[in-house]
Amino acid sequence: MQTNLESGELLGVTGDFILPGTRSGRDPARSIRRGPSRLPAEVVAATQRERLLDGVVHTVAACGYARARVSDICQAAGVTRPVFYEQFSGKEEAFLAAHRHGTAVVIRRMEEAFAARTDWCDGLHAALRVVLAILAEVPAFATVAVVEVDAVGPAGRLVREQLRVRMRRLFVGCPRPPDGVSGELLVDTVVGGIYSTIYRYIAAGRHAELPDLLPTLAHFALTAFLGPAAAARRVAQAEAAGVSWRKPLLPCVREEAADSAQAGASANP
């Protein structure tokens, strides 16, 4: 399964909208029976890859990237080492695959929420609401994507920067800043501030509190372009018109139970 982070296009046999870390790699409903299988080889390989992505996320979230071993990932995914090395050259490649696929899912959900609003301010509020809800709902992926990516080195910094580039696109069409203020630098500063705040909460294990940050982060972002009074008014309007973050936001999570039940009839190593 491949993910093109820059275009947002998700390519793969199955599981394109399932966030890594949502499911257990060892779920019996995802096991492939031993012996001759009627499943096509590409379906078996795709299923094993998905389970390994889940295994990477759960292992790294629990142990940290530096201490995670390939054997730990295989155990969490319920696959053998030979199967792992059929998919990935090593731990780093597996981690980056999970990160790219998961962040592409998150960004797509944010962009869908943004595009559903005709007003830029409302769209930005909706996009922030979605990302905070997802990271709160799948804390293992949040830890891996936001915190542990720093431990990967240059490759991790690259995928983190690719994520921030995608987030900057949400500011296309934003109000023009005052004369003498660099719009590009202002957007970078806002995106960096939002990312830094989210990082601190996740690093402290405060995933469940992330949705509570929405009014403050939205106010911070809008103030940079509208000023504090107008930003406060727009945030209040968006909050009054919005729905609870606990209502279904994640087809990538909600559909998982049904998918697992269907897979159980033919299921997975």
CATH of the domain at 70: 1.10.10.60
63-90: buried (b, 16+ CB within 10 Å) or exposed (e) per residue?
A: eebeebebebbbebbbbeeebbeebbee
pLDDT at 156 over 70: yes
pLDDT at 257 over 80: no
| Shared domain check, 246 and 152 | yes
Evaluate whether residue 101 is within a structural domain: no
- Assess whether 83 and 149 both reside in one domain: no
Same domain, 78 and 121: no
Co-location of 34 and 116 in the same domain: no
* Residues 209 and 115 both lie in one domain: yes
Least confident segment among 39-43, 144-148, 162-166, 248-252: 248-252
Higher pLDDT residue, 92 or 163? 92
Q: Does a structural domain hold residue 240?
A: yes
Same domain, 35 and 153: no
Report yes or no: 91 and 74 within 8 Å, Cβ to Cβ: no
The reported pTM is: 0.80
- Across the chain, mean pLDDT equals 82
Domain that holds residue 201: 106-250
Query: CA 9, 13, 19 angle in degrees (round to 5)?
Result: 65
> What is the C-alpha radius of gyration for the chain, rounded to an integer number of angstroms?
20
Residue 63 is encoded by which pair of tokens?
């142990």
On whether both 83 and 167 belong to a single domain, the answer is: no
Assess whether 145 and 91 both reside in one domain.
no
Report yes or no: 4 and 11 within 8 Å, Cβ to Cβ. Answer: yes
Residue-level pLDDT at 33: 58
Q: How much is the average pLDDT of 162-168?
A: 88
On whether the CB atoms of residues 31 and 10 are closer than 8 A, the answer is no
Nearest to 242 by CA among 119, 69, 126: 126
Q: Is residue 100 part of a domain?
A: no
Q: What is the mean pLDDT of residues 261-269?
A: 37
- Residues 49, 150, single domain; the answer is no
Please return the burial class of 106, using the count of CB atoms within 10 Å of its CB with bins 0-12, 13-18 and 19+. buried
In the predicted structure, residue 15 carries a pLDDT above the cut 70: no
- Number of independent structural domains in the chain: 2
- Sequence letter at residue 187: V
Residues 113 and 186 in one domain: yes
| 60 and 117, same domain (yes or no) | no
Do 198 and 236 belong to one domain? yes
Query: Residue 52 above 70 pLDDT?
Result: yes
